[in-house]
Structure 1
Amino acid sequence: MSGATILEVFPSYALEEILRRDGVKTVFQPVVDLFGAKIWGYEALSRGIPPMDSPTELFDAADRFGKLWELEQMCRDRAMDRMSSVIDSEDKRFFINVTPTVFLDDRFPESFNGFVVERCDISASRVVIELTEREEVSDYGKLSRRVEGMKEQGFRIAIDDMGSGHSGLLMLASCIPDYIKLDMGLVRDIHEEPRKQHIVRSLIGLASQVESRIVAEGVETWEELETLMRLGIRFVQGFLFALPSEGPAELSDEFRERVQSIWKELQQREGENLDGLLSLTTRAKAMQKNECSCKELWYLMKNTAEFDHVVVLDGAKPVGLITRNDFAAKMGGAYGFHLFQNRPIEEAAKRNFLSVSHSCSVRLLSRLAMERCPEDIYDPVAVVDARGGYLGTVTMKQVIARSAEIEVRQALTCNPLSGLPGNQDIQRWISCAQQGGGAFSLIYADLDRFKEYNDTYGFVEGDELIKLTASVLQEGLMELGCRAMVGHVGGDDFVAVISGPLPEDYLDAICREFDRRKLVHFKDEDVRTGGYSSTDRKGEVCRVPLVTLSLAVLDSDRLGDSLHPARIAEIAASLKHMAKRRTSELGKSAWVQERRSYSTSEG
């Protein structure tokens, strides 16, 4: 090969050169916490030197030539050195990739343990051992024992690429990981593929049952991110946030604002007032750093029974939380008081406490709070303004009580048959869409010839057809994420509010899907002939076609700026008659779109 070096021609020489020269470098890719719109951790990734700088070629060669142990040990050592020198934060997690073969090697416990990482000034509790799922595990019993041994030292465990291989569930059952990382194949274009959304939703439920957290890898677009947020994913990583780099990445203010905007839309969809958390917030005791010593605070808490916790501030921003129980544990014992008495209070404070924006919903906060460590789970939560300034705290007792109130309120307003929100929520959605100032669409959907179907097939089957309609509408608009909200007016009438543009192919797909799935609710003979005999409203026997779905679509650019939501609903309801005529002419489900404009001067 003309011009080719020996390293390019013989991969084994290139690998030996990398091992001889310690020729790997560590790069970091951030893991983002969407709930706080902040960097929560980093995955340490290894790169070789040319011509074997590709990590895939590097590790494939090491596996092929029996050097996987040596290479991975070099990568781990380099990663630990880089972590301690580059990233200075006590609350960040570090993900380190380990193949099952190396993890199960009898040399692993000696080469990588709590003492090793502590020499790098890193706590084992911050290190996540990420086991790849692409390689088959030879001994699941040994895997379970090795995982337990590492967990006892404080390490966390993650399963990588869940959903890409053949052994994921067996590995999950064997080690019960702290984190499950979704394969990027499940994440890619998830906003366009409902089946992927169903799979991810199932994995989220599974993770919840075994007390694991999901991390979605390979996020590259805002559409993917919005869908993941709607599904309930909290932790993500991918090129949308940052490329792997030698230094720690930072999130832009623009990114944070956009994530917070999506959360607000999701919370509005849940039917919770955004000021719900703010109404619970009380201005708890707060002290500046260096304001007093631990000894002074000790006697203050001891003599004031209602003084349950204190927030430590650095200027306007909270930087620490001291609770009575945790403070007593630190100050107690034979040496605790002598160790802390003359130190400033911030040295005894929890620095990794939960802090949320005042716009956070109560239900979202309850999820965040319950994901904390067992010893922190009932700690109060600091509430901050848009700039991170301290506003006060809320207790878990308040959060639990308010969550119960919200659940009861929503249960009363939701339709008991479909489980969808009712008229109050629909009107609120329309008002919010108007106030937002952007374009939105309103869909009024109902069933044609539903009364005759109910009379002929019975109320039980009629209820099933209502449930089918709700399901088709929800699934058909699912890919739009938090931009689409579906409500049930009552009977066979539904309303959907969509912010932003509404592609016409979504409407076509909904109509086709309804016509396909409705057939199981008719007798075979009726399906074959396209109709059945029934009694009309006048009591006369007539031939009735199969039920169809009519969709009346109204765009916001056809409306005045100040039309009342109830008036908008009336306009959409009148449009449905045009839709019904169209479905009757076509003999199948169909939609129509309003072309007229309206103003507040109309009746």
Structure 2
Amino acid sequence: MQYACANCGIEMEYHEAGYLFLHNEKRLNLPLTGSVDKTEEGLYVLPYDNLDEVYGKLSEIETVLVEEEWTCSFNCSEKPGPFRPAEEFLQLIKYREMVKLIQGGQFTSHLQPIIDLSDFSLFGYESLLRSNSGHNRINPGELFEAASRTGFHSMLDQKARKSAIESRQGQVEPGTKSFINFLPSTIYNPEFCLRHTFKIVNECNVDPKDLVFEVVETEKIEDVEHLRSVLDVYKREGMKVALDDVGSGFATVEMLSLLQPDYVKIDRSFINHCDSDEDNQEFLREVMKIAGELDILVLAEGIERKEELLFCKEIGIHYAQGYFIGKPQEEAMEPFEETLFV
């Protein structure tokens, strides 16, 4: 199987049997046993019968390989393919099934409802990535972790956006928002990297105004200027943007003024028992004050109790989502009735 590196386009081919090659510019020796040849150029050549065997051999000497800056390659013939740093090569072998899943794009999106607290009507859905590979269900968190370790986080993030946009077809009515997560760290050049996403929007005949691209892991953002450039490109194309998991570090006039999101989503930790927790109440009121000054809409996520929902409505929070309202499902939910929440 071949796959393209998400970042630089270098191709690599998995070989279930063949030859493993290890090279070091300093022509150092490796503590290897078994059937192994070493050339005059300091290149080790080891035949193998399966990739688990390759991973096992390399894991035994991983520390040496990494510290001495060895590079690795494999091929079905005795001619090496592209070399990669040992640490990266090990991750690509270890997580090869997830890499195949990412490359194949076997994904679907589950939809979690978001309601308008003014009248409890359906406002939109958050699209949440799920694997769609039969019985082989993979936790999305584990999938993104593997993608990050193997350099496939950009490709995964792109395919997740594609799945979320396509999931609207046939079940989400025009005018209903779709909140779609994305990782700013995977978008190196927004003018180039987002072309694929905008192409899918056009192909699916989706109104850009119905899409809200949501920054995940907001408080971990270090390059704020880069994030602003990404958000600006989304907004230029007619789409909305949101900051996810907003906490005290980002709920400032300066930061929100700089990024100018259309929505902010309040982290679950500040919603938890907000009907009785005075610290959470103080934080939520401060966010509402800042958001009101900047004309930003506020969404409370992680609503798990009726009391939390009603307190959020009382202080003027605009939208809400959480298990109390509805869990993520494969299909869009039926319209809500106000009596469900009061």
Do Structure 1 and Structure 2 share a fold, with TM-score over 0.5? Answer: yes
Return the offset for 1:138. 4.1
How many angstroms apart in 1 are the aligned matches of 2:161 and 2:170? 14
Return the offset for 1:258. 5.0
The equivalences for 1:41-440 within 5 A come to: 41-48=124-131, 49=133, 53-87=138-172, 89-106=173-190, 107-113=192-198, 115-134=199-218, 136-163=220-247, 166-167=249-250, 169=252, 171-253=255-337, 256-257=338-339, 259=341, 261=342
Aligned residues: 248
Return the offset for 1:147. 2.0
Partner of 2:71: none
How many angstroms apart in 2 are the aligned matches of 1:122 and 1:132? 23
Post-superposition CA distance 1:260-280 (Å, at most 9, x none): x5xxxxxxxxxxxxxxxxxxx
Post-superposition CA distance 1:430-458 (Å, at most 9, x none): xxxxxxxxxxxxxxxxxxxxxxxxxxxxx
How many angstroms apart in 1 are the aligned matches of 2:188 and 2:242? 15
Post-superposition CA distance 1:464-507 (Å, at most 9, x none): xxxxxxxxxxxxxxxxxxxxxxxxxxxxxxxxxxxxxxxxxxxx
Return the offset for 1:252. 4.8
Aligned partner of 2:196: which letter? S
How many angstroms apart in 2 are the aligned matches of 1:11 and 1:248? 36
Partner of 1:416: none
How many angstroms apart in 2 are the aligned matches of 1:23 and 1:90? 26
Change in 2 beyond 3 A, CA 1:197/1:167:
closer
Contact 2:228-2:259 at 8 Å conserved across structures: yes
Q: CA RMSD in A?
A: 2.3
Contact 1:104-1:146 at 8 Å conserved across structures: no
How many angstroms apart in 2 are the aligned matches of 1:162 and 1:43? 16
Post-superposition CA distance 1:158-181 (Å, at most 9, x none): 0000017x4564652431100000
Return the offset for 1:152. 1.9
SS in 2 for 1:241: coil
Return the offset for 1:47. 1.4
Identity of matched residues, %: 26
Return the offset for 1:211. 0.7
The normalised TM-score by structure 2 is 0.67
Contact 2:120-2:336 at 8 Å conserved across structures: no
How many angstroms apart in 1 are the aligned matches of 2:274 and 2:94? 37
Contact 2:242-2:263 at 8 Å conserved across structures: yes
Partner of 1:472: none
Return the offset for 1:104. 4.3
Post-superposition CA distance 1:331-352 (Å, at most 9, x none): xxxxxxxxxxxxxxxxxxxxxx
How many angstroms apart in 1 are the aligned matches of 2:94 and 2:289? 44
How many angstroms apart in 2 are the aligned matches of 1:181 and 1:252? 21
Structure 2 segments unaligned to the other structure (5+ residues):
1-51, 57-92
SS in 1 for 2:174: coil
Change in 2 beyond 3 A, CA 1:173/1:51:
farther
Return the offset for 1:90. 2.0
Structure 1 segments unaligned to the other structure (5+ residues):
1-5, 262-603
How many angstroms apart in 1 are the aligned matches of 2:104 and 2:219? 28
Aligned partner of 1:153: which letter? E
Structure index of larger Rg: 1
Contact 2:219-2:247 at 8 Å conserved across structures: no
Partner of 1:14: 97
Return the offset for 1:127. 0.6
Return the offset for 1:118. 2.3
Return the offset for 1:199. 0.3
Structure 2 residue 110 is the aligned partner of structure 1 residue 27: yes
How many angstroms apart in 1 are the aligned matches of 2:138 and 2:315? 36
How many angstroms apart in 1 are the aligned matches of 2:187 and 2:315? 33
Change in 2 beyond 3 A, CA 1:145/1:16:
closer
Return the offset for 1:156. 0.4
Contact 1:133-1:168 at 8 Å conserved across structures: no
Return the offset for 1:132. 1.5
Return the offset for 1:52. 5.7
SS in 2 for 1:151: helix
Of structures 1 and 2, the one scoring higher in RCO (CA 8 A, sep 6+) is 2
How many angstroms apart in 2 are the aligned matches of 1:251 and 1:93? 14
